[in-house]
Amino acid sequence: MSNPRFQAPRGTQDVLPADQPGWRTIYEAIDQVTRTFGYQRIDTPVFEAAGLFEKGSGDTTDIVEKEMYTFEDRGGERLALTPEGTPAICRAYLEHGMASWPQPVRLYTTHPMFRYDRPQKGRYRQHTQFDCEVIGSADPIVDAEVIEVLWRLFERLGVDGLEVRLGSIDDPGPRRAYIDRLKDYYRPHLARLSEDSQRRFERNPLRLLDSKDERDLELKSAAPKLVDQLSSEAGAHHAAVQTYLQAVGIPFRTDPLLVRGLDYYNRTVFEIVPLHDERAQGTVGGGGRYDGLMEILGGPPTPAIGFGSGIERMLIEMQRCESLPMEDRTTDIFIVHRGEGTALEAVRLASRLRAGGLSAGVGETGRSMKSQMRSANSAGARFTAIIGEDELASGVVIVKGMEGDGAQVTVPRDDVADAIQGWPQERR
């Protein structure tokens, strides 16, 4: 019997070398944008206590009901692979006494997330998410700020054709009257709803407006609108967020049916969607305000707002906009050698060049010059350094340009780096 050929688990992917420039571009852009807005990086564990997400995300959410990867470790503790970033960051805020820091605290992370979901383009069971959180401020200025952070990131990545969809789901107290009205609207039509919506009708009726099931869409579009009956405080907050977005030139439209899929939100909710996706199934990022989450997790009342955006979705949008970077050449110089004693000198030369900041590769011992030159091409080398027995005896190296006219020069071994750096521009 032959040994099995293993494959990546369903819903996961390998990020191959050719894919790395796109990922690197996104990480660099995230670093630049968060720095300009004054955010600090935080990294939380890949797994946490399962109860953190059951309490924080809400036990009626898809994440908790269907998607969490939970397990019991050898000590009997029930854990979960992180399905979303906000509860973990809030746990760290409480655990490390960040409430004593100057407020608000601005944090961001890029973190692997795990959800047992139906795999599809841009949505994986393991995906990487960019999260930003502003903790310790109820000011609508920071609501507009976090939206602007994500918008500016997409601008920096060369992604256009997007739209901010903005909503408000009020505060928990005033929202109860709306929920009663919503249930009265849906009650006569329960048999027509999807199974998920029928279950949510009693447990979390607001999430009926979050359904993407075809059977629910017609009823959803005609449902009463929460934004039409906001409390005075939430209404003023919502208006202020819109004013600040207009002030910084962020295009948006209000979406009265936007509720998002997590139980902890209040007031501001938002999503960024591609305009070409008419049904807004392809959200590329979204979030909202969660002023009550810290109390749910055992902390004092602490206002906060944040968002999450999947990096895999960013890559899809960059590809659509033709802004993905080309694979970069990775080797400055490749050392080709042939003959008695040349391998040792090639290794020494490569080490000196690397110490000087150049990337250098070395051909394999015993392979022909022609074969090693093919390896230099495969490595994307800008130059080759050729060492044969004659060059070894004379203490020199032949430096050959791999671009332009393919010119070559013979230089002392210690002058290879200078030869590369001083290579005539017209020969490049």
On the CB side of 286, CA atoms within 13 Å amount to 24
* Domains within the chain, CATH numbers bracketed: 17-170+230-320 (3.30.930.10), 333-422 (3.40.50.800)
- Distance, in Å, from the CA atom of 409 to the CA atom of 290, rounded to the nearest integer, reads 66
Angle between the N-to-C axes of helices 140-156 and 232-247, in degrees from 0 to 180, rounded to the nearest 10: 40
How many Cβ atoms from other residues are within 10 Å of residue 363's Cβ?
26
The tokens of 325 are what? 């970077």
On the CB side of 41, CA atoms within 13 Å amount to 11
The side-by-side arrangement of strands in the sheet containing 40-41 is 40-41, 105-114, 126-135, 304-310, 285-289, 266-274, 162-168, 252-254
Strand partners, 81: 47
* pLDDT at site 62: 61
Q: Please, are residues 168 and 230 in contact by the beta-carbon 8 Å criterion?
A: yes
Q: Does the pLDDT of residue 280 top 50, yes or no?
A: no
Q: Mean pLDDT over residues 213-218, rounded?
A: 85
* pLDDT at site 149: 98
* pLDDT at site 270: 96
> What is the pLDDT of the chain when averaged over all its residues?
90
The tokens of 328 are what? 């970069």
Q: Which of 10-19, 215-224, 385-394 has the lowest mean pLDDT?
A: 215-224
pLDDT in tens, 334-350: 999 999 999 999 999 99
Strand partners, 164: 252, 272
pLDDT in tens, 352-403: 999 999 999 999 998 999 999 999 998 889 999 999 999 999 999 999 998 8
Q: Does the pLDDT of residue 92 top 90, yes or no?
A: yes
- 244 against 199, higher pLDDT: 244
Amino acid identity, residue 22?
G
pLDDT band at 279; cut points 50, 70, 90: very low
Scan for tokens 């509720």, then name that residue. 259
Q: Which of 10-24, 198-212, 239-253, 373-387 has the lowest mean pLDDT?
A: 198-212
How many Cβ atoms from other residues are within 10 Å of residue 326's Cβ?
8
The tokens of 224 are what? 């009463």
* pLDDT at site 1: 56
* pLDDT at site 217: 85
* pLDDT at site 424: 75
* pLDDT at site 282: 75
* pLDDT at site 263: 67
* pLDDT at site 303: 97
Which of 64-73, 254-263, 329-338 tops mean pLDDT?
329-338
pLDDT in tens, 138-169: 999 999 999 999 999 999 999 999 999 999 99
Categorise residue 103: left if φ over 0, alpha if ψ from -120 to 50, beta otherwise.
Answer: beta
Q: Give phi and psi for 126, each to the nearest 5.
A: -115, 120
Q: Is the dihedral of CA 254, 259, 260, 264 positive or negative?
A: positive
SS3 labels along 363-424: CCCCCCHHHHHHHHHHCCCCEEEEEEHHHHHHCEEEEEECCCCCCEEEEEHHHHHHHHHCCC
The side-by-side arrangement of strands in the sheet containing 333-338 is 360-362, 333-338, 383-388, 396-401, 408-412
Residue 48, H or E segment: strand 47-49
